[in-house]
Amino acid sequence: MIKPHGADALTPLFVADEDRRSKLLQEAQALPQVLISSAAAANAVMLGGGYFTPLNGYMSKNDALSVAKRMRTESGLFFPVPVLNLLSELTFSVGDRIALRDPNVEGNPVIAVQRVDSIDEFSKAELEEISQAVYGTLDVKHPGVAAFFDQGNFVVSGSIEVLNFSYFETDFKDTFRTAVQIREEITELGWNNVVAFQTRNPMHRAHEELCKMAMEATDADGCVIHMLLGKLKAGDIPANVRDESIRDMVKYYFPVNSVMVTGYGFDMLYAGPREAVLHALFRQNMGATHFIIGRDHAGVGDYYGAFDAQTIFDTQVPEGALEIEIFRADHTAYSKKLNKVVMMRDVPDHDFDDFVILSGTKVRELLGNGIAPPPEFSRPEVAKILMNYYQSL
């Protein structure tokens, strides 16, 4: 199986030993209590599940600036985005152990215990430098930039011990999986070549066929459909609706035991190219050998070029920095000429009118009116679930 990033084995920071976890929860009650941001809580979940291997906690100011500038920590570890615990106020000192409280669960339970190795402060210019490097913009209309600037400017670094997986394990018990669990399941299935597909949206015919194309091209034993379960921007379809529609699509249109439907607990950054590299790192850590990156991967609005998330692997990711291979996909749509879904680059004889293409606005309008998109665009089982959702709004 493919090795994790920067390590021979995963380094999940979740405290698996029940006695140790119980003692930490008791100890946490007497520690300084710190309500962290949703982004920091999502980072804790990903650290706990092994997705951020080989990190042992939150990055320091110097590491964060180094990662923003050159995608490497000060020690030289390749990493595409800073992994931070940013706060707007401090109630503790360097050397303390602090109890991190989850902002996304009622009652704000302790999600992790952190050792405070350093406390630094970002200047406005440094925050802007990171935003420009990671998101490609300072525009606060960009949802990722707005969330980043809203977290605070105190950088609290140090190792953490994760005590739970926030709401993901309870709200999505059939879907949420750690990198450790996915690796174990891949091993049990006997898969060697594994394609991973990232989604924050329901999957239509084009997505379905793209997974099949990638599996065929890479001679894959299976595909892991890996959906983001954390916070999205306003207007995106909730994770539970996506989950139901994807499972029905897999049930009816993929061979048995060829697809694993899973999810992970992270807030969407909408960071385009940088987030595409982060997504590849996640998938290597969970055991995938190939990762699909298509048009405008992890993008939002018009902040990024259509294929910037692919070209970054040529221009900014050093050779050998990641072992996972990228399957580069073009825009995919149903061809009226060929009566099948194709990648547009493969059919240069086609005109725009030769494809079945619907805008997101048009699809939402149809679904909201109880009208299923054409079967060339969306499977009827998927359309039914989405129609029920939009008509319930």
How far is C-alpha 135 from the chain's CA centre?
A: 15
* 302: CB partners within 8 A, 6+ apart: none
Structure tokens at 58: 């939150």
Q: Are 125 and 5 in contact (CB under 8 A)?
A: no
3-class DSSP state for residue 129? helix
* DSSP-H helix ranges across the chain: 18-28, 38-48, 61-70, 124-135, 143-149, 168-171, 179-189, 205-218, 239-253, 272-286, 308-315, 360-368, 380-392
CA distance from start to end of the chain:
44
Determine how β-strand 154-162 pairs with β-strand 110-115. Answer: antiparallel
CA dihedral (16, 22, 25, 27) positive or negative: negative
Q: What DSSP assignment string belongs to 286-332?
A: HT-SEEEE-TTTT--TTSS-TTHHHHHHHHTS-TTS--SEEEE---E
d(CA 340, CA 178) in angstroms, rounded, equals 35
Determine how β-strand 118-121 pairs with β-strand 86-87. Answer: unpaired
Q: Which residues are catalytic?
A: 200-201
The torsion angles phi and psi of 25, rounded to 5 degrees, stand at -60, -40
Write down the residue that tokens 């739970």 correspond to. Answer: 164
